[in-house]
């Protein structure tokens, strides 16, 4: 039918596949097989390459096989027979699978008919079932049926393929398998074996037989009336692995590793492509702080997806590297990731220069103060991270810097030390590029002007440790005796102490403590979460209920003895009353063995749960026994009376009523209570 090359056919096939599947979002399962010569029977031709796809949403099926000539005979097939499924060898699966007959006797007019598979080799065209005797074939579709009819609907055949390529032959089809896969078989498979038709997923099994010496005829309905072949090869296989094509991430720019300086814009671009035309979700990981992305993280976008990442590093990014992943995920979770990395060089510390030493040293003492022109202009930023800022300080006596943040401020200082000695001090300059700073200094010295600390030339007074001229060195001592120290006496009278004697009420040497609930001066109960329920009224009802049940037994025995008083009824009544009294006393005891106030606490650290269940169960059992005793007496009464009177019947109802009320009361008692330490 087509006589172009395999590469041209593949291109055409790709275009057709995109065309037919672009409107849906589905998984297209793909099986490509290049079997060895020993993988099948090659008498009708050597199966060189199988290219098979199935779209699980659209049901589109592509089955294309390239053949080379059979060894010795040089045969190439005239057609093939086919059944396939999602794993096991299809042979034996009657009533579950479709069976294809592909007739390529005329390459210009190949034919395809589809039946339900009868599991008996190649006879499905003539016998629909493996049952004994010939059954009518289960006909599904035929390219030879009336166009537009139910058996040859418009559009189910996309392409029937039969052509020779040099010394090789290509046979196959591309069809819409919806009608096949939704077919209701005439002879269904056994229980639990529903109709599958023609489909596979990540596993494929096939029964594929190329044929040679083919002879066919077709009836008026377009289906086979004869299929004969003289030679049949086979490629039967099971549980072969198919695959799903993952999306593609294509780097446009910014891939690999990029070094970016502070303040320099960086951009990376990527494209996500899904060959099945599915929407793609975009996710980013490892983005540097401040980066902007288009489209947004975790957004779902139509295929293809163009991603742009923009980022301009600032000083906080100096010396940092970022490993970024851009991931595209299709609708079933298949992923493609483009990694890239970006780093910012470590900032170079500025060069600091506080000026030439000759300009600051051996200055003449010509007045009480001396002026010095400072100069930081030799400082520089070697990597141009930003404009330099300046901060001047000094330890020179009386030193005042006119503009501490200027590049060239002036310094005014005392011409001599307070003790009259020559001045030898330092000016300090800190330069910063906004990210890193560097400190440098320059020595300043002034000759002469020797004075004592009071300004008296050749005076004898000196500064003490507290910098007091003529002082005794104690005025600046803290409680620990340290000059200019910070130690103080705390509220507990301890020098340098931490108020260790202060209690939780902030009273020095107080006795207040924190309880187990973390409450100052608490009683230890605020964190227990306890609630109390007074069930005295219920216990009284249970007490009274036991008494009422005993009385009902007594009333029943009275009626029994009135009806017939003899030794037997007297003994029976006495035994019933004795047992009822015992049970009344036991239920009285049980009722009042339950605490009248039930406490329930949420705290499980300091509180434990105590069960009332055994008491309640025993009470219920006794109450049921009391009722049964009363009913036994009434049953004895029934044997003596031909018919119970109204009073008897009221008593029966009362027995059940009091038992029901008592049961309800016992059910209202909490099954557990709490006990706290």
41 exposed, middle or buried (CB, 10 Å; 0-12, 13-18, 19+)? middle
Mind listing the pLDDT tens digit for each residue in 240-282?
Answer: 998 877 788 999 998 899 999 888 899 999 999 887 677 999 9
Neighbour count for residue 347 (Cβ, 10 Å): 20
Mean pLDDT of all residues belonging to the chain: 89
State the average pLDDT over residues 622-632.
Answer: 94
* pLDDT at position 633: 92
Residue 16, pLDDT above cutoff 70: no
Helix (H, G, I), strand (E, B) or coil at 150: coil
State the average pLDDT over residues 602-612.
Answer: 87
Contact indicator for 194, 147 with CB cutoff of 8 Å: no
Helix (H, G, I), strand (E, B) or coil at 267: strand
Residue 8, pLDDT above cutoff 60: no
User: Residue 427 — pLDDT band, cuts 50, 70, 90?
Assistant: very high
Reported as half-sphere exposure (CB side, CA atoms, 13 A), residue 359 has a value of 14
Structure tokens at 655: 């027995």
Bond preceding residue 304 cis, omega within 30 of 0: yes
* pLDDT at position 321: 94
Q: If we measure between CA atoms, which residue out of 252, 480, 445 comes closest to residue 362?
A: 445
Helix (H, G, I), strand (E, B) or coil at 656: helix
Contact indicator for 444, 425 with CB cutoff of 8 Å: yes
Distances (CA, A) of 660 to 107, 542, 586, 653, 663: 90, 12, 19, 11, 5
State the average pLDDT over residues 126-137.
Answer: 91
Residue 541, pLDDT above cutoff 70: yes
Q: If we measure between CA atoms, which residue out of 279, 334, 342 comes closest to residue 309?
A: 342
Q: Which positions ≥6 away from 49 have C-beta within 8 Å? A: 32, 33, 34, 65, 66
Furthest-apart CA atoms within the chain: distance in Å: 147
The answer to which of 200-204, 332-336, 435-439, 482-486 has the lowest mean pLDDT is: 332-336
Q: Please state whether beta strands 235-241 and 168-176 pair in parallel, antiparallel, or not at all (unpaired).
A: unpaired
* pLDDT at position 25: 40
Quote the crossing angle between the two packed helices 567-592 and 613-640, to the nearest 10°. 160
Percent above pLDDT 90 for the chain: 62
Give pTM, 2 decimals: 0.42
* pLDDT at position 21: 34
Kind plus residue range of the DSSP H or E element containing 334: none
Q: If we measure between CA atoms, which residue out of 245, 248, 247, 249 comes closest to residue 340?
A: 249
Residue 581, pLDDT above cutoff 60: yes
Residues in the chain: 677
State the average pLDDT over residues 344-357.
Answer: 89
Vertex 521 angle, CA 520 and 523, to 5°: 115
Place of tokens 């003596």: 640
Residue 391, pLDDT above cutoff 50: yes
523 or 592, higher pLDDT: 592
* pLDDT at position 332: 63
Q: Which positions ≥6 away from 199 have C-beta within 8 Å? A: 54, 56, 59, 61, 85, 86, 177, 181
Q: Which positions ≥6 away from 225 have C-beta within 8 Å? A: 217, 218, 219
State the average pLDDT over residues 143-169.
Answer: 97
First to last CA, the chain: 94
Mind listing the pLDDT tens digit for each residue in 79-88?
Answer: 999 999 999 9
Mind listing the pLDDT tens digit for each residue in 463-515?
Answer: 888 888 888 888 888 888 888 888 888 888 888 888 888 888 888 888 888 88
Structure tokens at 175: 């069809």
Residue 6, pLDDT above cutoff 70: no
Reported as half-sphere exposure (CB side, CA atoms, 13 A), residue 133 has a value of 2
User: Residue 450 — pLDDT band, cuts 50, 70, 90?
Assistant: low
State the average pLDDT over residues 565-579.
Answer: 91
Mind listing the pLDDT tens digit for each residue in 169-201?
Answer: 999 999 999 999 999 999 998 766 799 999 999
Residue 345, pLDDT above cutoff 80: yes
């Amino acid at each position: 039918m087509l006589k172009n090359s395999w590469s041209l056919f593949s291109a055409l096939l790709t275009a057709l596949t995109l065309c037919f599947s672009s409107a849906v979002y589905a998984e297209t399962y793909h099986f490509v097989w290049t079997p060895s010569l020993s993988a099948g029977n090659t008498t009708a031709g050597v199966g060189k390459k199988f290219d098979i796809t199935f779209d699980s949403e659209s049901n589109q099926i592509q089955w294309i096989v390239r053949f080379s000539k059979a060894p010795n005979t040089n045969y190439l097939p005239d057609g093939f027979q086919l059944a396939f499924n999602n794993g096991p060898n299809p042979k034996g699966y009657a009533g579950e699978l479709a069976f294809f007959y592909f007739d390529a006797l005329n390459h210009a007019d190949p034919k395809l008919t589809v039946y339900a598979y009868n599991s008996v080799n190649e006879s499905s065209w003539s016998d629909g079932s493996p049952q004994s005797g010939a059954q009518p074939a289960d006909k599904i579709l035929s390219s030879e049926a009336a166009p537009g009819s139910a058996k040859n609907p418009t559009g189910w055949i996309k392409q029937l393929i039969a052509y020779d390529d040099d010394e090789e032959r290509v046979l196959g089809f591309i069809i819409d398998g919806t009608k096949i896969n939704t077919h209701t078989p005439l002879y269904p498979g056994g229980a639990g074996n529903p109709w599958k038709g023609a489909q596979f997923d990540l596993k494929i099994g096939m029964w594929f037989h190329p044929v040679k010496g083919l002879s066919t005829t077709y009836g008026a309905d377009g289906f086979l009336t004869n299929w004969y072949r003289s030679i049949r090869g086979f490629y039967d296989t099971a549980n072969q692995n198919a695959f799903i094509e993952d999306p593609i991430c294509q780097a446009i720019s910014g891939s690999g590793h990029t070094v970016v300086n502070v303040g320099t814009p960086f951009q990376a671009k990527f494209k996500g492509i899904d060959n099945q035309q599915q929407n793609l979700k975009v996710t980013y990981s490892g983005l540097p702080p401040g980066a902007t992305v288009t489209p947004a993280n975790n957004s779902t976008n139509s295929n293809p997806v163009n991603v742009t990442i923009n980022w301009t590093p600032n000083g906080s990014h100096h010396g940092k590297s970022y490993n970024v992943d851009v991931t595209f995920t299709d609708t079933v979770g298949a992923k493609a990731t483009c990694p890239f990395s970006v780093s910012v060089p470590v900032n170079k510390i500025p060069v600091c220069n506080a000026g030439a030493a000759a300009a600051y040293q051996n200055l003449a003492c010509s007045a009480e103060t001396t002026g010095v022109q400072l100069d930081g202009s030799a400082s520089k930023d070697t990597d141009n991270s930003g404009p330099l800022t300046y901060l001047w300080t000094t330890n020179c006596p009386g030193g005042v810097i006119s503009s501490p943040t200027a590049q060239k401020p002036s310094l005014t200082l005392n011409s001599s030390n307070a003790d009259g000695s020559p001045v030898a001090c330092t000016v300090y300059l800190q330069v910063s590029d906004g990210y890193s700073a560097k400190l440098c200094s320059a020595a300043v010295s002034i000759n002469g002007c020797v004075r004592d600390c009071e300004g008296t030339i050749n005076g004898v007074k000196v500064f003490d440790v507290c910098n007091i001229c003529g002082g005794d060195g104690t005025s600046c001592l803290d409680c620990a005796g340290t000059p200019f120290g910070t130690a103080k006496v705390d509220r507990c009278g301890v020098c340098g102490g931490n108020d260790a004697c202060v209690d939780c009420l902030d009273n020095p040497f107080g006795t207040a403590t924190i309880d187990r609930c973390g409450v100052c001066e608490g009683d230890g109960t605020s964190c227990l979460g306890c609630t109390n329920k007074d069930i005295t009224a219920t216990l009284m009802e249970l007490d009274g209920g036991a008494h009422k049940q005993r009385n009902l037994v007594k009333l029943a025995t009275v009626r029994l003895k009135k009806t017939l008083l003899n030794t037997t009824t007297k003994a029976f009544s006495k035994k019933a009353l004795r047992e009822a009294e015992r049970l009344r006393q036991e239920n009285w005891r049980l009722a009042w063995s339950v605490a009248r106030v039930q406490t329930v606490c949420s705290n499980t650290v300091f509180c434990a749960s105590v069960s009332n269940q055994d008491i309640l169960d025993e009470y219920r059992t006794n109450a049921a026994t009391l009722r049964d005793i009363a009913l036994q007496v009434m049953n004895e009464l029934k044997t003596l009376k031909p018919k119970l009177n109204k009073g008897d019947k009221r008593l029966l109802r009362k027995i059940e009523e009091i038992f029901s009320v008592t049961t309800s009361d016992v059910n209202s008692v909490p099954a557990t209570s709490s006990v706290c330490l």
